[in-house]
Chain A
Amino acid sequence: MEQGVLVPARRGGLRVFLRNRLNLLMAVRVTVIIVLLAACLLTPGFLSEPNIMALLTSVSFIGCVAVGMTLITISGNIMSFCLGATAGATAMVFVVALNWGGIGVGLVAALSLAALLNAAQGLVIGWVRANPIIVSIATLALIYGVAQMFAGSSAVYARPGTGYEIFKGKLVGLPVEFVVFLCVAAVGHFILSYTRLGRNLYMIGSSLRAAEAAGLKTWRSIAGAYLWAGIFTGLAGILLAIRYNLGNMDFGLGYDYDAVAAVLVGGTAIGGGQGSVLRTLAGAMVIAIVQALLLLLGFRQEWQYLIAGLIVLAVIILHTSGERR
């Protein structure tokens, strides 16, 4: 869309320059980045190591889910309500399989569950064009029901010494979670930019009819998008389980909304067909930085939803005004 092209200002200076929507957007983006940077530098304690580490860790969980959500949004399926529940369920399965057969079994079992759960939804959505929102809500209810059947409402705890501890701590000075998140973002970006699946997803998102007329098997691409979304979300669930040494359905609570907020703040269009993983990365970072700043400035934790909502609303009004869906 308006990515990166700066339309040169003609006579009339700043006002004419800003009247063009693209220039206005660019100006707002630059201003936001400058203000955020200044706030980061001026807020005492922000650049301290513990704060940066905490920030990078917390952004990673939601970031992984948000990268998955980006694929779903770009493919024109708006959002999934069950990614949070997928993360919770994956964490529980990971811990159970870990206790049973060690780290390898845990990873394989957890990731295949997450992938299958979402790929199945993608198949239903792509093949019969069932409504994505309803399918994800139905799956949400099913996941919670099944999880309760097996585990009640309690958590499962990881046995120490099963080998998952090696994933704690730091890698090249960064939290492992953040390294995984960067890898997820890289893979997501690669899929969208350099593979046929990615190109098909953009096409399906901008016009399903055109994609079908061009002979795409749209259901395959949509199932692919959900499959990858499941894997990325599953990774978030595993990271959560490793960090807290347990699996719990509460892990995923609210992640769907946080993830889609990151997607939208990054500027990916809710209607599909436009956007990128890098934007989502930026969106997730902006939300996380603002929340960390507020916390340091003495606002209570409760304000973070409110602030995230205001940012989402502001970005959406700025970004998409004038072009309906």
Chain B
Amino acid sequence: MKLKTFLRNDPHARPLLILAACIVLLAVADWGEGRFLSATTPFSMLQIFANGAMVALGLGLSMMIREFDLSVVGIFAATGCVAVLTGEVNPWLGIGYALAIGLAAGVIQGLIIVRFALGSVGVTLGGLLIFVGVAYVLTESRTVPYENLPVALFVNRPLAGIFSLRSLICVVVFAAAAVVVGFTRVGRDLIAIGSDRRAAVIVGVNVNAFIIGVFAFSGFCAALSGALLSYSLASATPQGLSDVIVPAAAGAILGGVSLGGGTGRPLGIATGVLILAALRSGLNALGAPPFVNDIAMGAVLLTVAILDGPYLMRRLGRIAPRPRAGS
């Protein structure tokens, strides 16, 4: 009984349900051949998780306060290139530059949004184009190889069976974000800003500081995952715009964040990204061609978008009584 009310009433139950459904479906599709339910799947799942999870976290947090940080895609690409270009000898230097750029980009965009009272989509679209441009200019439109192979191997080496350094960093960032949002005032203030900004101002939340902070954090996350992914792939490319935004937005939405603001939490976002990672690694393990993953992701996302539609119940309610009225 308790479980039933939990499933019905807790908005955070849905991502878990979808994740469970995906895993069960994939396990059934595997039909006991041990391709999906094997020891290597958790590792590959976490590797895929680490590719875009932090981008989804930054984007998701910006959605929680009713903004939308498009620039994460550009920052992700640009900082990946910066890390590869500057971190050849000393990988820490590359990461440092990348993080500094990501943070600065977030702070500057946040300041512009706050100072000029602008909508975030327009400002971060400008940021997105600028950073994609920076990536193209720095790499001269080429794919830049990262020659420091020991670092590339080190980042991906399995730790404790299922983790790698990359996915471990990702998990730590998520855990930190979850603790801060779940157990401190920061989390409640974030939700308050997302639900009703004017009310938040009135009760004394420093909304402007939060906006700048969230954009700074989101830039930081994008930079960290961009740099780590470039190291692990041992190359950086300025392309791949849609490769990042689709899973990031999908992960955040699947994880229970709504674009209307005021809902969501980091663990939900993590679950959302895990759903996508499970789909991808499962389909890979089953030997499905890559397009199946795109179609599955699109279908899941579209379903969730429709189910989340605020008018859905009203429309369905309107359809149902009609035959009765006619007869």
Contacts and interface: CB of A to CB of B under 8 A. Distances in A.
Interface of A: 78-79, 81, 85, 124, 127-131, 133-135, 137-146, 148-149, 253-254, 257, 260-261, 264, 270-271, 300-310, 312-313, 316-317, 320-325
A124 B121 contact: no
23 contacts: A128-B311, A128-B315, A131-B309, A133-B249, A134-B308, A137-B246, A137-B301, A140-B298, A141-B250, A142-B298, A148-B291, A148-B294, A149-B289, A257-B129, A261-B125, A301-B141, A302-B137, A306-B134, A312-B126, A312-B129, A320-B118, A321-B117, A322-B116
B310 interface: yes
Contacts of B117: 321-324
Contacts of B242: 81, 85, 140, 144, 253
B241 interface: yes
Contacts of A148: 289-291, 294
Given A138-B305, A257-B128, A313-B130, A303 B291 contact: no
Given A130-B308, A142-B295, A270-B121, 12 more contacts: A78-B121, A81-B245, A131-B305, A134-B305, A141-B301, A144-B242, A261-B125, A264-B122, A310-B126, A313-B123, A320-B122, A321-B118
B140 interface: yes
Contact of B246 (A135, A141, A149, A325): A141
Contact of A270 (B119, B297, B315): B119
B217 to A, nearest CB: 21
A134 B301 contact: yes
A307 B126 CA distance: 10
B122 A135 contact: no
B7 interface: no
Interface of B: 68, 112, 116-119, 121-123, 125-134, 136-137, 140-141, 239, 241-242, 245-246, 249-250, 253, 258-259, 289-295, 297-299, 301-302, 304-306, 308-312, 315
Between A127, A134, A308, the greatest number of chain B beta carbons within 10 A of the residue's beta carbon is seen for A134
A321 B309 CA distance: 31
Given A148-B294, A306-B134, A130 B68 contact: no
Q: Which 4 A-B pairs have CB atoms at the shortest separation, nearest pair first?
A: A306-B133, A309-B129, A128-B309, A145-B294
The B interface is mostly helix, strand or loop, or mixed, namely helix
Nearest to B70: A257
A271 B140 CA distance: 35
Contacts of B125: 257, 260-261, 264, 312
A313 B305 contact: no
B249 A305 contact: no
A302 B142 CA distance: 11
A139 B128 CA distance: 21
A144 B294 contact: yes
Nearest to B297: A141
A309 B298 contact: no
Contacts of A307: 133
Given A127-B315, A133-B68, A303-B137, A142 B299 contact: yes
B249 A312 contact: no
B302 A138 contact: yes
A257 B253 CA distance: 21
B245 to A, nearest CB: 7
Contacts of A303: 133, 136-137
A317 B129 CA distance: 15
A297 to B, nearest CB: 15
Given A135-B305, A140-B298, A253 B241 contact: yes
A310 B130 contact: yes
A140 B137 contact: no
B124 to A, nearest CB: 10
A254 B133 contact: no
Contacts of B132: 257, 305, 309
A149 B130 CA distance: 33
Contacts of B299: 138, 142
Contact of B241 (A146, A254, A271): A254
A304 B315 CA distance: 46
A302 B128 contact: no
Contacts of A260: 125
A55 to B, nearest CB: 20
Contacts of B295: 141-142, 145-146, 149
A24 to B, nearest CB: 14
Nearest to B137: A302
A129 B116 CA distance: 30
Given A128-B306, A130-B308, A135-B305, A306 B123 contact: no
A176 to B, nearest CB: 29
Contact of B298 (A128, A138, A254, A305): A138
A271 B119 contact: yes
Nearest to A310: B130
A145 B122 contact: no
Contacts of B128: 257, 309
B297 A300 contact: no
A124 B129 contact: no
A135 B249 CA distance: 11
B297 A321 contact: no
A313 B302 contact: no
